[in-house]
Amino acid sequence: MDQLVIPQILIEASEKYPAQGIWADNEFTPYPEVLAQVMQLARALSQKGIRKGSVVGVLDVNSLYHLELHYALGFLGAIIHPLNFRLSLNDLEYTVRLAGDEWLFFGPEFASLGHSLKGLVPRQILMGKEFSALMSHGLPAAPDLSLKETDPYSVCFTTGTTGRPKAALYRHRDLVLTSWQIVHHMALHDTPARLGMNEVILPLIPFFHMHGWGIPFMAPYIGASVVLAGKVSPASQAKLIYRHGVTWSSMVPTQLQALLKTLTEPLTEPLKVLTGGTAVTSGLAHRAEQLQIALSVIYGGADQLGSAISAVPPHTALSSVDRSLILTARVLPLPAVEMTVRDQNGHTLPPDGLSTGEIWVRSPWLPQGYFKNPQASQSSYHDGFFVSGDLGIGFPDGTFAVVDRLSEAVKIGDEWIPTHFLETMISDIEGIEQVAVLPLISPQWGDRPVAVIQAHQPIEPEAITGYLQAQVEAGRIRQFWIPERIFYIAKMPLTSAGKINKQTLVAKLDQLPEYPMA
């Protein structure tokens, strides 16, 4: 391989791992057959007029068609835009316009949504019978050896929780490098979600979110088989795990929590899970461990790709308690990634385990800025670094704790309250399913912390504040961290990425009760 291009990954997988492949709709397709179908599809798409530089939107769940388009479009040098079907129609239309989609492929369950986008993208193909007919007209095509690793490959959008979704244009080499480094990191370091050749992978992160955290590229690279779930319930996900002997999965904490509710007893075989997006509470980690599920945490985003994964630092001896804390609350940068914590003036803070500042990231796959958004680029990309908007703390062992989003943080005077840490502590209280600590703005005192609780049983506010007061007396937290008010909610609002939508919660605080919900 003299060029780091996406199609080469599948070519090598078909040669090295002919017995491995993709499970979809209870049918197994080995990698050599996947490659043949991809090349046939590439030829058919070429005959349709899709060529190098064409921007193609894909609106679908994690299906075999969707995965094959990742490679077929890559062969042609076209640019894939996986559409976030969880966005509002207004935001979805905005992403289509910004990306400049010339074609739209959509799955059967998105026919109505595809029709709504017809005015923006008139050239559309329904994946199903129409897709199969399209492929039947294509002849096997030879790989396009004119591809360069610096050619653009995809447009990835943020989830738009703090405004309009922003986009990054990624090259072939960017996706190859970050996927490889995720694999290498988990092979090199002591981390629960280690990836090996014999894994059976169930990706529950949608492909629209950073290509499902790179699974379409990572799995063929290591010769692992993949189970594509499509759009199924947590109970059906559990059945897939048992049926296919799934050993490794990726999901956000809210997905994990929903999956755990369906499991009445520990899994017969251990399951390794890579999770991220929001903090993993100690309560969630403990429940996962009881059910034979081991967790590693990833840090990154659509504007930086993968940057760090939780791991025990090299040559570090830890107690079981310290090890559990590091693996759920701190991350170690991937190979070739530089992370620093900086103050508001951009000065690097010491990794002393105490100094809180904004996380800056630099890597070989970092974009130069946001796609067609120079104003946002100017504020978020400086001197080769991505200014993340995340608050973090650096530690002497090289790990980092991501403690909050700068836009959601609670600051009293000159002091930050690490809300993720506080949320983790509150989640240890029996019966609490999810918790969000938010700022309540006081004209007299500035920000004050409040908590919103989702629980499966009534929990008095005094039980929560009393528990936290005991943590103050034990020296684990500070007095001013204790929420001044406790609100209750039946179900937390979530973003399109499955995170708790704190902006929505702040807007509706005055509508929430301050008494336990029966």
Last residue of a domain, one of 331, 364, 394: 394
Round to whole Å and give the CA distance between 194 and 90: 40
Count of CB atoms within 10 A of residue 396's CB? 10
C-alpha of 143 from chain center: 31
Residue 1 lies in a domain: no
Round to whole Å and give the CA distance between 439 and 480: 13
pTM of the model: 0.87
Q: Please report, in tens digits, the pLDDT of each residue of the chain (518 residues total).
A: 578 999 999 999 999 999 999 999 999 999 999 999 999 999 999 989 999 999 999 999 999 999 999 999 999 999 999 999 999 999 999 999 999 999 999 999 999 999 999 999 999 999 987 777 776 665 555 555 589 999 999 999 998 766 799 999 999 999 999 999 999 999 999 999 999 888 999 999 999 999 999 999 999 999 999 999 988 899 999 999 999 999 999 999 989 999 999 998 999 999 999 999 888 887 788 889 999 999 999 999 999 999 999 999 988 877 776 788 788 889 999 999 999 999 989 999 999 987 889 999 999 999 999 999 999 999 999 999 999 999 999 999 999 999 888 877 787 777 778 787 788 888 888 888 889 998 877 665 567 889 999 988 889 999 999 999 998 888 778 888 899 899 999 999 988 767 788 888 988 888 898 877 66
For residue 446, the 8-state DSSP code is: E
For residue 460, the 8-state DSSP code is: -
Total domains in the fold of the chain: 2
Residue 259 near residue 246 (C-beta atoms within 8 A): no
Please give the angle made by the CA atoms of 79, 495 and 399, to the nearest 5 degrees. 80
Helices (H), 142-252: 172-188, 210-213, 215-222, 234-244
Round to whole Å and give the CA distance between 336 and 176: 14
- What is the length of the chain? 518
Q: Are residues 323 and 415 in the same domain?
A: no
Question: Would you say the C-alpha torsion 508, 509, 511, 513 has a positive or negative sign?
Answer: positive
Beta strand ranges found along 138-178 (DSSP E): 152-157, 167-171
Last residue of a domain, one of 394, 425, 441: 394
Residue 315 lies in a domain: yes
Q: Are residues 14 and 95 in the same domain?
A: yes
Residue 402 lies in a domain: no
Residue 344: closest CA among 330, 331, 355, 329: 355
Round to whole Å and give the CA distance between 37 and 40: 5
Domain containing residue 462: 410-511
Residue 102 lies in a domain: yes
End-to-end CA distance of the chain: 61
